[in-house]
Amino acid sequence: MKYAVYVEGQSEMLFVAYVLQEYSNYDPAKCGFLCINLTADDYERISFPKQGDMNSGDYYQIVNVNNDNLVVSKLKKDIPGLIAQGFNVIIGLKDVFGDLYGQLMKQKPEINREKIMEMHAAQMGAINADGFDCRLHFAIMEYEAWMLALIEQYVVSKEKNLRDLCQQLNININTDPETDIYHPYPLVRKIFQACDEDYHKHGKESLSFLSTLKRDDYERLRRSEKCASFSKFLDSLLGGQCPVLP
């Protein structure tokens, strides 16, 4: 199967690549992927990370569009070419948190499931894939919610205790970041800073986090009751049927 995956930023692009590496056991015969950085209409192939090629059992083209507002428009624009190249599934991943959601909510800092569904329906309608298998996933409220749910191994790698650290920072680690935290990014940044690093959604910072995670960590979250949007995205990415979205 050939998959095209469109994401809004570098952190998400690296996340997809690292998940694929872990689930394929780093086997290029089983899974291949190529990361592409899109600036304007310039598609730049990234040399790292990279695995396998189009002859791999499954092949993924991971495109970072560098803007949360461009995932839908770039994905839609590329659909005819992707079909012509033999891609079977197109997946988009973008945050809910942002200007559009703020406008829908009239700037109320609330997680509103009905508004999220309304936004998803409108954006899927704009894509208009005409029967092709195109899936638009939302990270609710943003990718950093998934990071919060997975962050313990990163904290341990810095020789710190997550529970003690979060108590110092007044962060509730027992909650579901997807349903209870409107803007997770500042909390992730606080944790990084408490570990003598910083986080601005850039590559080096993301690799520091992703390098601590194994397949078992992803599976633990995937099988838990937290971050349902994470589980749905992994199901799609790893060859499952399209789940009910968002």
pLDDT-above-90 percentage for the chain? 93
Cα distance between residue 48 and residue 51, in whole Å: 9
Average model confidence (pLDDT) across the chain: 96
Residue with tokens 């049927």: 241
Q: Which pLDDT band, with edges at 50, 70 and 90, does 17 fall under?
A: very high
Same domain, 87 and 175: no
In this prediction, residue 144 carries a pLDDT of 98
Residue 217 lies in a domain: no
pLDDT confidence of residue 185: 97
Q: Report whether pLDDT(151) > 90.
A: yes
For residue 6, pLDDT over 90 is answered with yes
Residue 203 has pLDDT above 90, yes or no: no
Question: Is the domain of 134 the same as that of 231?
Answer: yes
Angstrom distances, CA of residue 96 to CA of 46, 126, 192, 226: 27, 16, 23, 17
Same domain assignment for residues 125 and 8: yes
Each residue's pLDDT tens digit, 36-50: 999 888 999 999 999
Same domain membership, residue 152 and residue 61: no
Q: In terms of domains, do 108 and 230 share one?
A: yes
Beta bridge partners of 32: 59
Do 17 and 125 lie in one domain? The reply is: yes
- Return the pLDDT at 40: 83
| Same domain, residue pair 150 and 231 | no
